[in-house]
Amino acid sequence: MPVPITAQLEFIHSIPPDLAGMLESPCHSLGTPRPELAGCKVRVKGTTPIYVIDRCGYRRLVPFPFTFMNLFKDASVFEGLLVSSTVSDIAEGRALDENSILVRGISSETIYLLDSGTKRPISSRRIMDKYDFDERAVVVVPQVLIDAVPQGELWE
């Protein structure tokens, strides 16, 4: 039996404001953010998951192998990968979506990280290099498709 809309609204309004913000934020977890490591790929010693450190300093799980291959240069999995037991002390943010890709419109030079139904503009060539994003992996689509996707925060 469907839940009445009033019950759904009551539930939503019962969520404390701070918790509601945490549910929406891409950057939330216990631990310490490390923004100075933005762009690094890291792995907790003795484990296989690979994370990328975002601009806020949170480690974000990169689903392997497809998402990793859709975004990063092949060699970046081995070059510059920080492997340490202290990686687990870095606050963990929301994982990248399994279907995350780099995309741009056919009539634009702006490249976006398409993640969780949101396009995040990549601000410059320097940022592409900082994160080891693979320009050869950018999917070029009709501009109307890019324009239809909600825009998120700048990926820097």
Residues 46-82 pLDDT 10s: 888 999 999 999 999 999 888 999 999 876 666 678 8
Strands 41-44 and 81-84 turn out to be parallel
Tens of pLDDT, residue by residue over 127-149, are 999 999 999 999 999 999 999 99
Domains of the chain, by residue range, sit at 101-148
Express as a percent the part of the chain with pLDDT over 90: 65
pLDDT at 2: 45
* Averaged confidence pLDDT in the chain: 83
CB-CB contact of 45 with 84 (8 Å) = yes
* Strand arrangement of the beta sheet that strand 59-62 belongs to: 59-62, 50-53, 41-44, 81-84
